[in-house]
Structure 1
Amino acid sequence: MTEREGSMFGEMRRMARTSGAVGGIAARIAGERIFGIKTDQARHAEDLKAVLGNLKGPMMKVAQFLSTVPDVLPPEYAAQLAELQANAPPMGWAFVRRRMAGELGPDWEKKFQSFSREAQAAASLGQVHRATLPDGSDVAVKLQYPDMPSIVDADLRQVKLAMAVYKRMDNAIIQDDIYVELSERLREELDYMREAAQMRLYGAMLRDVPDVNIPVPVPGYTTTRLITMNWLKGMGLKAWLEQKPSQEQRNRLATALFRAWYIPFYRYGIIHGDPHLGNYQVSESGALNLLDYGSIRVFEAKFVTGVLELHAAVRDDDLTRAAHAYDVWGFKGITEEQIMVLNDWARFIYEPLIQDRVRPIQEGNGTDYGREVAQKVHAGLLRTGGVRPPREFVLMDRSAVGLGAVFMRLGAELNWAKLFHETVAAFDAAALTARQAVALQIAGVPAAK
């Protein structure tokens, strides 16, 4: 059997496996929504998590993504899929040697002083090995899993099917543009040369921001399927929290996270679109190590202006200004009633940025960030005929929800409004556009396809 034939049969097996999982979701949702058949969604969701958690590739990443977009999937599924931590089984050493030879040449081992045979971490699209360069520098080497382009296509077809079935049952959020955005960002993540450029971009944008560490890609050791960067020493966020850090330490880390996400957005129109727990480490000094730069979104200044306009509308309880903000964002044809429904979500997101006092990101007894509000908004949108979110909205909302969940887990108590105003001070759309163009050019980030 040729390598191509093996790849084709592997993709067929994967299609069969994921089709079963996706088909199971569709059947169970349809049974309950149309025929009134009650199913144990929590148990089925656990089964789904078990299937996807053992698959390398984007299906797991897609599941993590969908779990952070409120009401794209039923809450039972979203809760289980949110727990996926990208612990796919690693590739064996024999394969690693072949792949490294294909990327750096047959004498690749001579380019390292040492190279760990065992993967130090497994992600959804690749795995990380620790190595030492000839000059003694410790580096992380991320190697992409085999056949990822074809696997991305196969998995996205299954996701499209699942979303289409759910849409027939529930049209509160019309997901067409969500799928387009998801597809394009995932395909960009396959290009590790792009990721290296985006890593350089974040290094430049956050150079002077305290408590934020960005890895640096190593020239000559990076290809489209291989990225080598300096090794950042740090502890995973979950393990760090188990050590019971002080309130001051947790607040310090939350402050770094806030700045790492929103300084690039409000000053350059750029956001890190993957606020996943596996992408954070805490350094020995208590600073933030920010990892994984595959999912980066670049926005026009107009969109950022709309975000600030909605903040002002919520602050002043100004419905007319809110309507203008949604129009700037790209929500077309929405009614006044739908604007009022959407404003429930906007108030939830913006409230900590408006109240000038020290507080947790979410007040009350709820442990699931935003779920109760999202369900209320979902019911309102369903009642009013549904809305079609613009594709630019997807990663922005995902970042807000994902970061909010992390701030809750940290138990951070900060003056979020003060942090926000420091970040947006002297905002100017023309200056943002100019800074963005220069930063992208210097870092060598290619234009979106």
Structure 2
Amino acid sequence: MAAQPAQESIRSTPLTRMADLAGTGARVGMNYLKYYGQRAVSSDASKPALRRELDEVNARDVYASFSRLKGGPLKLAQMLSIDDNLLPPAYAAQFSQAQYSAPPLSWPLVRRTLEREFSQTVEALYDSFSPEAAHGASIGQVHQATRDGKKLAVKVQYPGVADSMRSDLRVVKPVALQILGLREEDIAHYFTEVETRLLEETDYVAELKRSQEIAAACAGLTGLRFPAFYPDRCSARVLTMDWMEGVTLDRFAASSATQEERDRIGQALWDFYQYQIHVLHLFHADPHPGNFLVVDGELIVLDFGCTRAITPEFHEKQFAFLNPALLESDAALEAALRDMDVLLPADGPAQRGKIMDLARQSIELLTRPFQTERFDFGDPAFMQAIYLMGDANRQDRSLRSLRGARGRSESVYLNRAFFGLFSLLHRLRATVETKSPPAV
């Protein structure tokens, strides 16, 4: 990938960031008005092409704004791009760039941040420091440095990201709702959950603590490696850790790796998530391929900025759905759905029936990997069935009558983790042992 030109400045105040996002929203709105005007006088045969053109123009405008601002907007693009089937193709193509790289900030801005955080010069902090970013992401960018003979990765947070996160998300929300075709009243508590997690991602002190805790707890798992951190070179806006060599997970998946190699990496990935979720009740909640490297048959886990803790009570209720007997009893299934706020007290018989049918379909499909000793994630039928179910649900107009926010907010990132895990294992075409959490 060609190097992107450095960004010389970043809008760091809530007002200037809101102005940028509002301008993008206005352009998107104007594009829709133009589209509806053209659609009204076009033949049925030409309407799909008009819609594709609208999506392409809007996707470019939205991603350009998000990548300029970084922070919450760019993180939202990254989150949405995990599911290739969630977005229209034009948006998926643009937003997928957020998984790996964003236009980096210029060296003077990076130097200023480092020296403000530590009250020392960069030369005093590190023996050498590359002024060019090795990776640019949503919340910060990574530079290579050395100290005492060790090669280091230094993650520097973008200026203004933490202070502007809430205001960014308020302005981004209408754009996201338009892209996804959702109603604000039905996702309010989910959006609060996303906001909470994104605010946590701007706290590098908390990320340092989580990184060390999870790495230590998972140290006994086979086939995993984690970078070591250097707390004396970490702060609320800077993290310093070992530089890890390897290829990103998707590049490994696209390589000529043998099935045995794919299965080994897939098993390490599966075990990592099962141990976190079922034993630690704390998990890495950002499973996109740029957060994992592969080297010498081992999986390297990067970036613990986004994690989620779950309570034992929530865990028990959530994973009760793995019991096949639940689908054999209407009363038991209804009780479980009410426990998880999927069925609401105001639901009438028709709504209840619709939700119960959807739940049976979803549970049967999504729990398949857990109902057998080994599961072949390389079988295209499994992920295709998930995509088709999602498409059918989005196109089902009757679902729009199901008012109210449904499901526990804790489910947002747990579902994201499992969908991301399934997607990564599918890319790997891995067959893994799935029946129980690994022992350490």
- What TM-score do the two structures reach when normalised by structure 2? 0.82
Distance, in Å, in 1 between the alignment partners of 2:380 and 2:110 is 48
Query: In the alignment, residue 175 of structure 2 is paired with which amino acid?
Result: A
Tell me: CA distance 1:198–1:312, structure 2 relative to 1, closer, same or farther (3 Å): same
- 1:63 maps to which residue? 77
Gaps of 5+ in 1: 1-5, 426-449
Query: In the alignment, residue 421 of structure 1 is paired with which amino acid?
Result: S
Tell me: CA distance 1:205–1:377, structure 2 relative to 1, closer, same or farther (3 Å): farther
Provide the secondary structure at the position in 2 that maps to 1:127: strand
Is residue 254 from structure 1 mapped to residue 266 from structure 2 by the alignment?
Answer: yes
1:40-439 → structure 2 map (5 Å cutoff): 40=52, 41-44=54-57, 46-47=59-60, 48-68=62-82, 77-78=91-92, 80-134=94-148, 136-163=149-176, 170-171=182-183, 174-283=186-295, 285-313=296-324, 317-333=328-344, 335-360=352-377, 362-364=379-381, 370-378=386-394, 379=396, 382=399, 385-386=402-403, 388=405, 389-415=407-433, 419-423=434-438
Tell me: CA distance 1:28–1:413, structure 2 relative to 1, closer, same or farther (3 Å): farther
RMSD between aligned residues = 3.3
Distance, in Å, in 2 between the alignment partners of 1:391 and 1:255 is 29
What's the CA shift for 1:79?
Answer: 5.9
What's the CA shift for 1:173?
Answer: 8.8
Tell me: CA distance 1:349–1:247, structure 2 relative to 1, closer, same or farther (3 Å): same
Decide whether the 8 Å contact of 2:82 with 2:288 is kept in 1.
no
What's the CA shift for 1:307?
Answer: 2.3
Tell me: CA distance 1:9–1:268, structure 2 relative to 1, closer, same or farther (3 Å): closer
- What TM-score do the two structures reach when normalised by structure 1? 0.81
Provide the secondary structure at the position in 2 that maps to 1:275: coil
Decide whether the 8 Å contact of 1:170 with 1:382 is kept in 2.
no
Distance, in Å, in 1 between the alignment partners of 2:95 and 2:332 is 36
Tell me: CA distance 1:54–1:318, structure 2 relative to 1, closer, same or farther (3 Å): farther
Provide the secondary structure at the position in 2 that maps to 1:391: coil
Distance, in Å, in 2 between the alignment partners of 1:111 and 1:257 is 35
- 2:3 maps to which residue? none
Tell which deviates more after alignment, 318-327 or 32-41: 32-41
Is residue 21 from structure 1 mapped to residue 32 from structure 2 by the alignment?
Answer: no
Percent identity between the aligned chains? 26
What's the CA shift for 1:357?
Answer: 4.4
What's the CA shift for 1:147?
Answer: 1.0
How many equivalent residue pairs?
412
